[in-house]
């Protein structure tokens, strides 16, 4: 139950009020998490164990999914669960995301190409592995590199894509180099559709050095 000081009235949310305090906290964290990073994955890579583990945050979101949907619905935001990809995410015109620098946008497009290429082969996982050198090589093939990006710009781009659960670097961010490995999560399929990628890549002028931003 909440209290509105301006109106002097109590407002009750039956579903939420019926939960134990710990569960109430879990629901609150799920709502904040989705708003902060858009996507919640069912399974994430755990560096300590070196394997994919079930994500508690996904379990909590899934458990209270209908309530979370109704909550966001009031703001014109849709909450979707894709069980095949193992992801819960939000969409809506009222959402305001980060502005991605040009390098992060290019990475995003290339990551989708790499993901689709690897998934076209026999695969038992929805996750794909790549390296920074493979990403840069493909960007070079599209003649989109006028010069090698700085380590600072690379780290910034990777950090933003990691925030939105698109990739997971397997090596220390401070030690990023050409051989740095990373996982491409299936969220890439929700961010971009395969048919759009090549057209978007071609829309970038060859050698264009501006710093246009794209919203994610």
Q: What's the confidence (pLDDT) of residue 199?
A: 66
53/45 Cα distance (integer angstroms): 6
**Radius of gyration over every alpha carbon of the chain, rounded to an integer in angstroms:** 20
Cα separations in angstroms, 76 against 36, 92, 93, 95, 205: 17, 6, 7, 9, 36
Cα separations in angstroms, 206 against 111, 145, 155, 196: 19, 8, 23, 18
User: Residues 60-77: pLDDT tens digits?
Assistant: 999 999 999 999 998 899
Q: What's the confidence (pLDDT) of residue 97?
A: 64
pTM of the model: 0.83
Residues 6 or more apart whose CB falls under 8 angstroms from that of 202 comprise 142
> By the 8 A CB rule, do 139 and 146 touch?
no
Q: What's the confidence (pLDDT) of residue 163?
A: 92
- Residue with the bigger pLDDT between 201 and 41: it is 41
48/59 Cα distance (integer angstroms): 21
Q: What's the confidence (pLDDT) of residue 214?
A: 58
User: Residues 181-199: pLDDT tens digits?
Assistant: 999 999 999 887 655 666 6
Nearest-CA neighbor of 71 among 13, 128, 118, 1?
Answer: 13
User: Residues 79-137: pLDDT tens digits?
Assistant: 999 999 999 999 987 776 667 788 998 999 999 999 998 888 866 788 899 999 999 99
Mean of all residue pLDDT scores within the chain = 84
């Amino acid at each position: 139950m909440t209290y509105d000081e301006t109106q002097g009235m109590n407002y009750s949310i039956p579903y939420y009020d019926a939960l134990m305090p710990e569960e109430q906290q879990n629901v609150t964290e799920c709502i904040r998490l989705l708003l902060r990073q858009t996507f919640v994955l069912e399974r994430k890579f755990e560096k300590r164990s070196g394997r994919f583990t079930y994500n508690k945050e996904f379990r909590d979101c899934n458990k209270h999914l209908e309530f979370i949907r109704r909550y966001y619905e009031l703001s014109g935001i849709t909450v979707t669960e894709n069980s095949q990809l193992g992801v819960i995410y939000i969409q809506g015109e009222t959402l305001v995301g980060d502005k991605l620098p040009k390098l992060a946008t290019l990475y995003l497009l290339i990551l989708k190409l790499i993901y689709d290429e690897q998934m076209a082969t026999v695969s038992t996982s929805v996750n794909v592995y790549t390296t920074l050198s493979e990403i840069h090589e493909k960007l070079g093939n599209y003649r989109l590199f006028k010069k090698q990006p700085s380590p600072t710009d690379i780290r910034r781009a990777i950090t933003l894509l990691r925030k939105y659960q698109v990739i997971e670097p397997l090596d220390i961010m401070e030690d990023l180099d050409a051989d740095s490995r990373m996982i491409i999560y299936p969220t890439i399929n929700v961010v971009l559709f395969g048919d759009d990628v090549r057209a978007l890549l071609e829309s970038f002028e060859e050698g264009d050095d501006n710093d246009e931003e794209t919203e994610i």
